[in-house]
Amino acid sequence: MELFVGLDVSLESVAICVLSSHGKVIKETTSFCEPDALIACLQSLQGSVACIGLEAGPLSQWLYRHLSEAGFETVLMETRQVKGALQAMPIKTDRRDAEGIARLLHMGWFRPVHCKSTSAQEMRALLSARKTIVQATTNLELSIRGILRNFGLKLGRVSKGGFEERVKELAAGNLKLEAAAIPILDGRSALRDELAGLEKLLGNLARADRLCLLFMTMPGVGPIVALTVKAAIDDPDRFRSSKDVGPWAGLTPRREQSGERDIVGSISRAGDAPTLCKCFWFIWPGHWLVPPHLRGQVGPCGTDLGRAGESRR
């Protein structure tokens, strides 16, 4: 008997629902959110497991890898579609979610999601760490600006290198303002040191990668953009054509049509935000990005700036 298994993954446990090939609930149980415990639970089922489905998420890729290595046919299901289907249920519990996922899997009404390789996930972790440090540094700078503004002290436009000196200049002579500003400046300085080291590492990784070097021959594409797009796409063979990358990244327009009403809206932005921003440089026609006086000129890497976008299509 073929079995279809739906998994609802949480931090500590996994809700499991098993359906037969006729859609009848065979078993409902829970397991610890650990690969060994989950595999042992699945292997104890009476019947042949045809497919296992779980909603894409932070822990899902980790479990997917171990389940696939154990020989189970496993599918990551697109989050938006699963969420839309499960919202029809009046009562939401982990048990009900696992049953809903199992029924979607049984009917085939789901969109499979690519599970990124370990190297791609590690690269995204580095890029996420850089983004977090940049955001933390910006928040500290805005906090200092807000503190000084209460006393009529305006930083104005200042470079990153001259920021600390300008703050100390404005706060000089006021012991309480100095006591408030100096710890924030120390934290900002430490973050900037860590950011410099991380960006140096990312730059070295980009220059050591042949594909990233090719990306960086395009105008406006640096190490961060190149690494982000490479880690996001991961396996180019999963796209039938380069034209499929645009819809995957969310760069195609929304459409709502019913009867005589047909509305074409702005881009769907269905892809994750970092990839959407970075893929913009690869998909948008290059002659729109390059100023007219530079078109037809050759860039530092031998790239025709006017035709850079055409080669990206």
For the cut 50, the answer to whether the pLDDT of residue 154 exceeds it is: yes
Structure tokens at 219: 């105008």
Q: What percent of the chain has pLDDT over 70?
A: 86
Mean pLDDT of 45-66: 91
What pLDDT, on a 0 to 100 scale, did the predictor assign at position 93? 92
- For residues 43 and 88, state if they share a domain: yes
Same domain, 192 and 261: no
List strand residue ranges (DSSP E) for the chain, in order: 2-9, 13-20, 25-32, 48-55, 74-77, 253-258, 261-267
Averaged over 49-53, what is the pLDDT? 94
Q: What is the mean pLDDT of residues 64-91?
A: 90
Are 60 and 134 part of one and the same domain?
Answer: no
| 65 and 136 belong to one structural domain | no
Check residue 296 and give its pLDDT. 45
276 vs 78, which has greater pLDDT?
78
Q: Is the pLDDT of residue 6 over 90?
A: yes
Position 298 confidence tier, pLDDT thresholds 50, 70, 90: very low
- Report the pLDDT value the prediction gives residue 250, as an integer from 0 to 100: 77
Report DSSP state, residue 145: H
CA gap 30, 18 in Å, rounded = 11
**Using CA atoms, how far apart are residues 180 and 24, in angstroms rounded to an integer?**
65
Asked if residue 218 belongs to a domain, the reply is no
In a domain, 19, yes or no: yes
Report the run of H or E that residue 137 belongs to, with start and end: helix 118-149
**Residue 86: inside a domain:** yes
Q: Does residue 299 surpass a pLDDT of 60?
A: no
Neighbouring CB atoms inside 10 A of 109's CB total 12
My answer on whether 201 and 122 are in the same domain is yes
- Same domain for 79 and 12: yes
Question: Which of 178, 208, 238 marks a domain boundary?
Answer: 208
Domain membership flag for residue 234 = yes
Predicted confidence at residue 237, as pLDDT, reads: 87
**Tokens for 91?**
């009562």
Domain boundary among 56, 74, 107: 107
Q: Using one digit for the tens of pLDDT, what is the confidence trace for 156-203?
A: 899 988 999 999 999 998 899 999 999 999 999 999 999 999 999 999
- Specify the pLDDT at position 261: 87
82 lies in some domain? yes
Domain that holds residue 94: 2-107
CATH at 14: 3.30.420.10
- Determine the average pLDDT of the residues in 111-122: 89
pLDDT tops 80 at residue 60 = yes
What's the mean pLDDT in 57-85? 91
Q: To the nearest whole number, what is the mean pLDDT of the chain?
A: 84
Q: 192 in a domain, yes or no? A: yes
Question: Is residue 109's pLDDT more than 70?
Answer: yes
Pair 186, 243 in one domain:
no
Give percent helix, percent strand, percent coil of the chain, each to the nearest 5. 55, 15, 30
Residues 13 and 95 in one domain: yes
Calculate mean pLDDT across residues 115-129.
Answer: 91
Please report whether residue 38 resides in a domain: yes
- Flag whether pLDDT at 301 surpasses 50: no
| Neighbour tally for 261: CB within 10 Å | 7
* Inter-residue contact 111 to 81 (CB < 8 Å): yes
Residue 12 lies in a domain: yes
What does the pLDDT read at residue 288?
36
Q: What pTM, to 2 d.p., does this model score?
A: 0.77
**Looking at the structure, do residues 96 and 124 belong to the same domain, yes or no?**
no
99 and 144, same structural domain? no
Q: Are residues 188 and 261 in the same domain?
A: no
**156, 227: one domain:** no
Average pLDDT over residues 276-285: 54
Angle at 189 between CA 158 and CA 275, to 5 degrees: 80
Domain end residue (candidates: 107, 141, 160)? 107
SS (H, E, C) 56-122: CCCCHHHHHHHHHHCCCCEEEECHHHHHHHHCCCCCCCHHHHHHHHHHHHHHCCCCECCCCCHHHHH
For residue 68, pLDDT beyond 70: yes
Quick: pLDDT tens for 255-274.
888 888 888 877 777 766 55
Which of 13-22, 71-80, 304-313 comes out lowest in average pLDDT?
304-313
DSSP per-residue letters across 205-234:
HHHT-HHHHHHTTSTT--HHHHHHHHHHH-
Total domains, the chain? 3
